[in-house]
Structure 1
């Protein structure tokens, strides 16, 4: 099996050109060329990296330029926040790892998924930006196949296992909450 990490549009293009058989994407559902089945919902919050003197960062501080806003390529949420706050973003990142690296260097704020931050070492010292709870957003991730293409037995099995695994994980999380 060949596994690749690709931007959402490239992933869908690769499905249509039949370079790949199956994808997992957070791209908006709705393209009639594909069948989407939701796997999970990812929650994003606005975080800040380490700041001088252990002070906590407030959304007003980001607007005032106390921390630079990181904008992720093709991420409408971070672009909308930059516009709303009237700030010039000074850093553009292409993926979550890039965002986390910049955040860890200090002086930045950015959206990251909560599960991603929870999995980072405590040394990263990421803290949620105060006053930003209304900015929390959720993004569904789906397993995607091309609608006009019959999946091979291996692809069908992999798809079924993905869906079962995420369904079981959701049930476990709901039961432990």
Structure 2
């Protein structure tokens, strides 16, 4: 089983309460399994909910946040037991440190930032820059259109179907974590 999971997800709550609940439940689930959350250190939205779930479950949180976000007070305040926050100079530094620390990557629902982080680590994986698994936590089918698009891209010959099929997709945390651990 993995011991450190990078989670990419929204800095907003979104409109569907099920997504908010799922983010918190994933955090609690990581804590229960002794898996450290590696994330962007946001205190709001789904980011805040997943980290709060880990904290409430007595788990470990490793947040990485750029200085400009700290100055705008966008981050989770360190002080809770098990929370470590690292301040870096740029978004590039943030992603590099998160990628280095994590053993696997999981995207929950989110917006442009979530997609950008997901595609970067997935691209790195396809280029063999790392061998870490990448997945989508597919709450309520949220990621179904993206998975369909990626198959369409493969059908058009712009990527291999094997790369799409290697993406771990599911809505059951135990199942997803097991497949990310292989």
What's the TM-score bracket when you normalise by the shorter of the two chains?
0.3 to 0.5
Q: Which has the larger radius of gyration?
A: 1
Higher relative contact order (CA 8 A, sep 6+): 1
Q: Which has a greater percent of helix? A: 2
